[in-house]
Amino acid sequence: MWNSRTDYLYVAPAIFVMLIVIGYPIYYTIELSFFNTPASLSLADKTFNGLDNYVTILTSPIFWKVTWQTVVWTTLSTFFAFVLGLGAALALNREFAGRGFLRGLLLIPWVVSAVAASYVWKWLYHSDFGVIGALMVQFGLTDHPINFIDNTTTSLYALIVVNVWKEFSFAMIMLMAGLQTVPDSLLRAAQVDGASAWQRFWHVTFPHLAGVSTVTVLLLAVQNFNSFIIPWVMTSGGPAGSSDIWITHIYQIAFGRQRWGVGAAYAVILFIVMMVLGYFYVRALTKGDESRAGA
Amino acid sequence: MAQVVLKDVVKNYGGVYAVNHVSLTVEDGEFVALVGPSGCGKTTTLNLVAGLIPMSGGTITIGDRDVTDLDPKDRDIAMVFQNYALYPQKSVYRNLAFPLQMRKMDKAEIDRRVQAAAKTLDITHLLERKPRELSGGQQQRVALGRALVREPRAFLMDEPLSNLDAKLRVQMRSEIKRFHQDLGATIIYVTHDQLEAVTMSDKMAVMNGGFLQQYDSPANVFANPVNMFVASFVGSPAMSLVPLTAVSKGTDVVLASPEGWEMPLSDANGRKALSAKSNKVVLGGRHSTIQVHKAQVPGSVPGKVYTVEPTGDVTFAQVFVSGAVVNVSVAPSFQLRPDEPVFLEFDQNRMHLFDAETEMALTL
């Protein structure tokens, strides 16, 4: 057992640092979530109020509205980013002239700064000067430019479009790497066995991508759940909270209205949800290891 | 089962010819091995027969049908791959059933054929397993089964034994041979291992650099290699080749070495040697046709032992003769030491002579 003791010694510095920068904030957030806090930074004046903050949150209609919007945001963003990424990866998996160039081009959304991209898209969507509105008028789709982001029914979906544009490159890269590991001989075997192109995809390629797809979807889901930059820069959750998702809402409560206790309680709820997603992510990641180790 | 005919088949990538005007006929029920070193075009040839890559020229017929422009699925062939290429997420049963499902066969018929193939290959007890739960040999049997259920006109096998360990390879070798004999199947079998080709095939097609070098029964290829490449590729250890000069001495012909020794040739061999384009002739001999002596005997040539490799039954040795390495074999009781001078006597009736310029065998 001497060995395992030295093992702990080796990881001790890392654990120590993580306890300070990760462990303590988590503890402090959980502690704060049970307190009523003054709307200032004098947190020493906080008073214990038990589960009041949680009750406030869970009984508030806004919480359920924001939760629903978060679910819509996460699900649609993840789904479309994955589907678009898969399509792009499949297209780029074939040999054709200009493939390298196109691959680079499709990677741009992923490498562009999210803040810069958000501002660009804000302009594209702009009701007076936006390119999108102008093009729609040009093609006769509408009489006057639609106001996408200053509109309570469309703002969330307008943001989802931006988010999908920003994220599909990530899914594309992951799936392209996955596609490269599909054994050529399996595809050939299927071809000799009489499978059409679609059947080869369905029976060989797609099952082979199952592992990387699971990981990609979970990573996208976690990332979308935690999204902040795009919704905050483009709408700050507005208009009238129509594009608010959990992170932007928590930010507003804590740092906008300085309701630290309620914000902390919100964060704890989000933390629990994230841990559940994280559990599935780690399980998906290590599933292959176990079957290999068991073999 | 059917005859497979390749006629003037060409595959080139730009100026590089992977397969260079290859013509050969595989008779109905024949086991033909395509053999050659890496990059010789054997796998490309097989893929052309399968229709997996487009041909640059020539025609291929299977049975009485010209399949040159047909898709793989319409050629009625089945293929077995080096790494088995089993569908990992499907059970053995579903792997076997897959090619039949793709042909929209009805369930009862699929089940009948899968069970029959499983019984033939003795894998009935594995039908519910996934490929990863099987050993290499079992996976290869499933791969054979997936080819078998189709009842194809020809089987194409691409190095099916290379992923197995040495012991299993020998065992599967006889199983595939048995498979061929029981089914009377037409099989085209690609291998880089000349021993597999020699032991399993009815005919072997030796390829090198995209060209078909020789197409004949293993016995004939072994006994009468058409050129120096085939001579040195087939047989283990390889045939030894010693470059020498043919010199006429009155009515006799001798092979002379730069070191000054001479080896008299029989009448027939003398005439062969003189038919070379120049007087440069390469002497070829297999280990089993060379006698090793400790002292000079008439007709023997001097050499020096390089390495000695006892294998139990027989001791192999490499001997330097005029700068070339000659493989010889002696009885284990015959003691040889490295650097020991010895004299080699080549069997005049079983030696080979090649034209050093054209590298072709010299014949009468």
Taking the CA atoms of residue B114, residue B118, residue B119 and residue B125 in that order, the dihedral angle to the nearest 10 degrees is -120
Domain count, chain A: 1
A292 pLDDT higher than 50: no
Taking an 8 Å cut-off on Cβ atoms, the answer to whether A192 and B50 are in contact is: yes
Predicted local confidence at residue A3, as pLDDT: 63
Per-residue b or e along B345-362, where b marks 16 or more CB atoms closer than 10 Å to that residue's CB: bbebeebbbbbbeeeebb
Angle at CA of residue A106, ends A100 and A110, nearest 5°: 125
Going by pLDDT thresholds of 50, 70 and 90, the confidence category of residue A2 is: low
B88–A208 C-beta distance less than 8 A:
yes
Return the structure tokens found at A180. 């490269």
CB contacts of A188 in chain B (<8 Å) are 47, 50, 52, 72, 79, 81, 85
Q: Which pLDDT score, from 0 to 100, does residue A129 have?
A: 80
Q: What is the rounded (10 degree) CA torsion for A11, A15, A16, A20? A: 160
| Cross-chain CB nearest to B77 (options A185, A189, A192) | A192
Tally of CA atoms within 13 A in the half-sphere of B204 that contains its CB = 28
Closest in A189, A291, A295 to B81, CB measured: A189
d(CA B157, CA B94): 21
* 3-class DSSP state of B8: strand
Yes or no, beta carbons of A207 and B88 under 8 Å apart: yes
Taking residues B39-52, report their average pLDDT.
91
| Closest chain A residue by Cα to residue B74 | A194
Of B67, B36, B33, give the one whose Cα is nearest residue B157.
B33
Confidence at B178, pLDDT banded by 50, 70, 90 = confident
Interface residue of B46, B49, B52 to substitute, partner A, most A CBs within 10 Å: B52
**Tens of pLDDT, residues A96-132:** 888 889 888 998 999 999 899 999 998 888 877 888 8
Predicted confidence at residue A294, as pLDDT, reads 38
pLDDT, residue A130, reads 81
Q: What is the pLDDT of residues B228-269, one digit of tens each?
A: 999 999 988 889 999 999 999 888 899 999 988 999 999 999
Nearest one of A203, A127, A110, A86 to A163, comparing CA atoms: A110
pLDDT value for A295: 35
- The continuous run of DSSP H or E covering A2 comes out as helix A2-18
Asked if A188's CB is within 8 angstroms of B87's CB, the reply is no
B/e letters for B118-150, b = 16+ CB within 10 Å, e = fewer, are bebbebeebbeebbeebebbbbbbbbbbbbbbb
Q: Do A192 and B83 touch (CB under 8 A)?
A: no
Q: Is A165 contained in some domain?
A: yes
Q: Does residue A156 lie in a domain region?
A: yes
CB B235 within 8 A of CB B195: no
Q: How far apart are the first and last CA of chain A?
A: 27
**Closest to B102 (Cβ–Cβ): which among A183, A199, A210?**
A199
The boundaries of the domain holding residue A69 are 49-289
Question: Looking at this protein, which amino acid is placed at residue B195?
Answer: L
CATH number of the CATH domain containing A86: 1.10.3720.10
Q: Average pLDDT of A144-173? A: 88
Which is higher by pLDDT, B136 or B301? B301
- Asked if B280 and B354 count as a contact pair (C-beta separation under 8 A), the reply is no
Contact B73 A194 (CB under 8 A): yes
Choose the mutation target among B46, B81, B159 for the interface with A, i.e. most A CBs under 10 Å. Answer: B81
pLDDT in tens, B284-301: 999 999 999 999 998 899
- Per the DSSP assignment, residues forming a β-bridge with B315 are B310, B330
- Under DSSP, the state recorded for B362 is P
| Contact flag A189-B85 (C-beta cutoff 8 Å) | yes
> Do residues B315 and B309 touch, judged by C-beta distance below 8 A?
yes
Task: Specify which residues B256 forms β-bridges with.
Answer: B245, B262
In a domain, A41, yes or no: no
Is 80 exceeded by the pLDDT of residue B59?
A: yes
Q: Who contacts B323 (Cβ-Cβ below 8 Å, separation ≥6)?
A: B258
- Report the residue of A192, A201, A214 to disrupt the B interface, i.e. the one with the largest count of B CBs within 10 Å: A192
Q: What is the DSSP string of A124-164?
A: HH-TTT-HHHHHHHHTTS-SS---SSSSTTTHHHHHHHHHH
The reply to whether residue A194 touches residue B50, judged by beta carbons under 8 angstroms, is: no
- What would the two tokens of residue A61 be? 């209609």
Within a domain: A18: no
Would A132 be classed as within a structural domain?
A: yes
DSSP character for B135?
A: -
**Does A36 map to a domain?**
no
Is the pLDDT assigned to residue A180 strictly greater than 60? Answer: yes
Check residue A195 and give its pLDDT.
Answer: 87
- Quote the minimal CA–CA distance from A210 to chain B in Å: 10
Query: What DSSP string runs through B24-86?
Result: EEE-TT-EEEEE-STTSSHHHHHHHHHTSS--SEEEEEETTEE-TTS-GGGTTEEEE-TT---
Rg (CA), chain A: 24
Please judge whether A194 and B85 are an interchain contact, meaning their C-beta atoms are less than 8 angstroms apart.
no
- What's the complex ipTM? 0.77
Number of Cβ atoms within 10 Å of the Cβ of B265 = 24
Cβ of A210 within 8 Å of Cβ of B87? The answer is no
Rounded average pLDDT over B90-119: 90
Which of A183, A185, A195 lies nearest to residue B102, judging by beta carbons?
A: A195
Q: Cα separations (Å) of A132 from A118, A145, A229?
A: 15, 8, 22
Q: Does any domain span residue A31? A: no
